[in-house]
Amino acid sequence: MGSAVPHLYNAGSATGVVMDVTHILDPLNDRQREAVTAPVGPALVLAGAGSGKTRVLVHRAAWLIEAEGVSPHGLLAVTFTNKAASEMRGRISELLGSSAGAAWIGTFHGLCHRLLRMHWQAAGLPQSFQILDSDDQQRLIKRVIRSLDADENRWVPREVQWFINNRKDEGLRAANLHPDDETEHEFKRIYAAYETTCDRAGVVDFAELLLRVQETLIRDPDLLGHYQRRFRHLLVDEFQDTNEIQYAWLKLLSGDGAQPFVVGDDDQSIYRWRGAKVENLQRFQRDFPNTRLVRLEQNYRSTGNILAAANGLITHNQGRLGKELWTEGSEGSPVHVFGGFDERDEAEFVVDKVKAWVDHGGRRDEIAVLYRSNAQSRVFEEMFINERIPYRVYGGLRFFERQEVKDALAYLRLVQSRDDDTSFERVVNVPTRGIGSRTVELIREYARDNATTLWRAAIALTGGDLSSRAANSVQAFLSQIEAMAVAVKGLPMHEQAEHVIAAAQLEAHYRSREKGERGEARVENLGELVNAARGFQYEEEGLTPMDAFLAHAALEAGEGQAAAWEDCVQMMTLHSAKGLEFPVVFICGLEDGLFPHQRTMTDPEGLEEERRLFYVGMTRAMRELYLCYAEQRRLHGMEAYSEPSRFLGEVPRELLEEVRPRMNVSRPVAMRYGGGGALAGDDAGTGLSLGQRVGHPKFGEGIVVTVEGHGAHARVQVNFEAEGSKWLVLQYANLEVL
């Protein structure tokens, strides 16, 4: 808690009433109190992880109302979720002992919707205008594309949707665009037609809400002046996540006399791919020159060692506003580092630690397994199911329930059995191939009337009962499945999966439908399905390997994850973990190319965001933090040998503890961590000596520099002349002593 403060405050500027503010200030530490009681004026609160930013926002609102005499009617608070807005409203009312109902508290979209409902005429909207959700917007775009006679296979509705929403988030109408090439020109043409269609129908999409309000206020100075005078006090949460139009909207509403109070953390800005601009924090200071800056650095969540590790990491980012988290709590355990042989070894380690935690009286829901790519969840799900450990995938679906995985499995099932109606319906027009709902309905009707399958009905109808265009599209689909069946016959199971995914063009389909992180995540899941097929072991008699694998996938999808209230391990991507905390955290897959992600390795801004994402993951941990990597991992169906993540080398070495006993500390890891490590001189029963020259059928000649483990199961590190350093499991290495 902070130092003693006066219990009475003179709200004289407005009411002359002396107020008791004990209940507002006593729960705060010194820095929180400094922020809450800051003189009325622009303020930026740089709130570190676990430092109580929500408390500061709530208490600032209560302070303004009780101590500064501000009417709730003149208060506007912006959050990023409806849940946060509801919580904020409730906590303010609790502090005030009365309702804060006159204050406007909500999300950007919610507040803009409210403004448009009140001023629909000024906004050029019908009074009963409707809001399109994402699916409705995509369907409307699809109709627009068709109305323009554009090729749907080239101008994919979801890709066009992404383009339109991004332009709106940047504050740009179709008329503001100046295309440089044919592709951009066509995007502009579709965008313009979409705008006309929305205006005619009296509908708005989510991105339109902010842009329409911005334009309306600029166009109507009287209306703008009214709200600038009314909302003299603007409170904004998660300011580092604001995009271009959100920042412009807030700046416009602030005008010359408003007093914005914003809370954010540049070290936790992880949504650049959604349009978030971390630089808005620095823009704020430039646009409001007399901004008061308060840093909240005292952390109430994590141990000292975890915070020191996170601080050491994030200092490698440039241009930070700067802060250093600290705690009055204990130093706690070192940060544990585990290097697995492969992804299964990594998952087994996590399972063992979960069991040990529970055996010592802990709860499973106190544990979080975090990963960069949601494709990584599959191996952990499999291990947890085998060990009967309840788990829940937070904010997402289990692996075999994901859309792209189910699409690929449907193709595989159809290749195995043409009479699988469910699979036929799922992928007959995925990717889009010009087979519309009416054609599918005709196939259904024929199958029902003739007591046959959809496949056989489709064959029959291509003989003349469909339009020539529909018949050609259906025939192309049937031929594609038949060609797949011929091509995969006799192939190993993972190669069958790989071929079918490629032949169906599913990767290209998902890359075009969803840009950025989401599209890439779906592609990674398809690659992980190939890995699942490669590693699948079956014992069922009378089934082909593929039949057994497909049955396994169906059973796992139907297994069902634990309910939200059950005591179960929490699994999630690092992005999903923001705002949460757990006593025990595992961050898995810490390898260059996976985390940081491959596409950011040559992008300085992208690499800094990856580092912030790692920082967010580390600061979720309260008591124990495990950083895990695998030296060999199957990615996109192929074995990959990876270096430990460069981020591990940016954490102060003295804070790390390797938890797997080793014969020696491997040279690359020791160098990466900044440590030393002598190499052992014996062969540990491997038949190899350090410094020995060996040959490999793929990598060529090299020198043995490290040996770990014993006998055939040992691992060796070889510096190859042509390929560089590689780790190999001796049992499978095919090394020849030269």
pLDDT by residue (tens digit) across 70-106?
999 999 999 988 888 888 989 998 888 777 778 899 8
Best mean pLDDT range from 217-226, 405-414, 710-719: 217-226
Predicted confidence at residue 16, as pLDDT, reads: 52
For residue 86, being part of any structural domain is answered with yes
For residue 20, being part of any structural domain is answered with yes
For residue 1, being part of any structural domain is answered with no
Tell me how far apart the alpha carbons of residues 85 and 237 are, in angstroms, rounded to a whole number.
Answer: 10
More confident site: 171 or 667: 171
> Is 121 a residue whose pLDDT tops 90?
yes
Instruction: Average the pLDDT over 132-158 and give the result.
Output: 85
> Is 668 a residue whose pLDDT tops 60?
no
- Residue in 68, 238, 346, 420 annotated catalytic: 238
Domain at 735, CATH number: 2.30.30
> Is 383 a residue whose pLDDT tops 60?
yes
Beta-ladder partners of 591 = 644
Predicted confidence at residue 672, as pLDDT, reads: 39
Beta-ladder partners of 263 = 45
For residue 523, being part of any structural domain is answered with yes
Q: Residue 497, by phi and psi: left (phi above 0), alpha (psi -120 to 50) or beta?
A: alpha
Token reading at 141: 């775009």
Give me the amino acid identity at 427. V
Rg (CA), the chain: 30
Domain at 245, CATH number: 3.40.50.300
What 3-state class would DSSP assign to 392?
Answer: strand
Label the pairing between strands 700-708 and 715-720.
Answer: antiparallel
Give the residue from 250, 267, 296 where a domain finishes: 296
Label the pairing between strands 292-296 and 391-393.
Answer: unpaired
For residue 558, being part of any structural domain is answered with no
Tell me how far apart the alpha carbons of residues 395 and 573 are, in angstroms, rounded to a whole number.
Answer: 9
Token reading at 326: 């600290």
Please enumerate in sequence order all residues whose Cβ is within 8 A of that of 181, keeping only pairs 6 or more positions apart, or say none. none
Residues 506 and 419 in one domain: yes
Residues 442 and 520 in one domain: yes
For residue 318, being part of any structural domain is answered with no
Predicted confidence at residue 559, as pLDDT, reads: 54
Residues 346 and 490 in one domain: no
- 425 as an active site residue: the answer is no
Residues 229 and 358 in one domain: no
Predicted confidence at residue 564, as pLDDT, reads: 61
User: HSE (CB half, 13 Å, CA atoms) of 730?
Assistant: 21
Beta-ladder partners of 694 = 702, 737
305 falls in which pLDDT band (50, 70, 90)? Answer: very high
> Is 673 a residue whose pLDDT tops 50?
no
- 94 as an active site residue: the answer is no
- Residue in 68, 208, 237, 381 annotated catalytic: 237
What 3-state class would DSSP assign to 417?
Answer: coil
Tell me how far apart the alpha carbons of residues 523 and 592 are, in angstroms, rounded to a whole number.
Answer: 19
Residues 185 and 261 in one domain: no
308 falls in which pLDDT band (50, 70, 90)? Answer: very high
- Residue in 31, 33, 53, 646 annotated catalytic: 53
Predicted confidence at residue 172, as pLDDT, reads: 95
289 falls in which pLDDT band (50, 70, 90)? Answer: confident
Residues 646 and 541 in one domain: no
Token reading at 110: 């919610």
Predicted confidence at residue 684, as pLDDT, reads: 52
Please enumerate in sequence order all residues whose Cβ is within 8 A of that of 558, keeping only pairs 6 or more positions apart, or say none. none
Going by the DSSP 8-state scheme, the letter that residue 430 receives in this structure is S
Residues 576 and 630 in one domain: yes
Domain extent for 195? 130-201
More confident site: 271 or 258: 271
Give the residue from 533, 553, 573 where a domain finishes: 553
- 355 as an active site residue: the answer is no
More confident site: 734 or 62: 62
- Residue in 37, 216, 268, 327 annotated catalytic: 268
Residues 240 and 102 in one domain: yes
Instruction: Average the pLDDT over 283-302 and give the result.
Output: 94
User: Could you write out the DSSP letters of every residue in 164-221?
Assistant: HHHHHHTT--GGG---SSHHHHHHHHHHHHHHHHHHHHTEE-HHHHHHHHHHHHHH-H
More confident site: 153 or 61: 61
Give the residue from 161, 179, 201 where a domain finishes: 201
For residue 326, being part of any structural domain is answered with no
Domain at 141, CATH number: 1.10.10.160
Residues 104 and 224 in one domain: yes
Instruction: Average the pLDDT over 523-540 and give the result.
Output: 81
> Is 683 a residue whose pLDDT tops 90?
no
The tally of domains found in the chain comes to 5
> Is 309 a residue whose pLDDT tops 60?
yes
> Is 361 a residue whose pLDDT tops 80?
yes
Type and span of the H or E element at 425: helix 421-427
Residues 549 and 575 in one domain: no
The sign of the CA dihedral 579, 583, 586, 592 is positive
Predicted confidence at residue 18, as pLDDT, reads: 56
Residues 406 and 391 in one domain: no
- 53 as an active site residue: the answer is yes
Which residue's structure tokens are 């089934």?
543
Tell me how far apart the alpha carbons of residues 390 and 562 are, in angstroms, rounded to a whole number.
Answer: 6
Q: Residue count of the chain, please give it.
A: 738
Instruction: Average the pLDDT over 467-481 and give the result.
Output: 91
Predicted confidence at residue 8, as pLDDT, reads: 56
Predicted confidence at residue 709, as pLDDT, reads: 62
Mean pLDDT across the chain, nearest whole number?
86
Using alpha carbons only, give the angle 229, 233, 239 rounded to the nearest 5 degrees.
125
> Is 48 a residue whose pLDDT tops 80?
yes
For residue 460, being part of any structural domain is answered with yes
More confident site: 595 or 738: 595
- Residue in 31, 277, 620, 726 annotated catalytic: 620
Of 67, 134, 81, nearest to 109 by C-alpha is 81
- Residue in 54, 81, 282, 432 annotated catalytic: 54
Residues 394 and 404 in one domain: no
User: Could you write out the DSSP letters of every residue in 636-661?
Assistant: TTEEEE-PBPTTGGGS-GGGEEE-S-
| Whole-number Cα distances in Å, 652 to 144, 310, 626 | 56, 9, 15
> Is 731 a residue whose pLDDT tops 70?
no
Instruction: Average the pLDDT over 682-690 and give the result.
Output: 62
Predicted confidence at residue 196, as pLDDT, reads: 92
Domain at 535, CATH number: 1.10.486.10
More confident site: 274 or 42: 42
Of 592, 625, 624, 628, nearest to 611 by C-alpha is 592
- 701 as an active site residue: the answer is no
Predicted confidence at residue 678, as pLDDT, reads: 27
- 489 as an active site residue: the answer is no
Token reading at 367: 């544990």
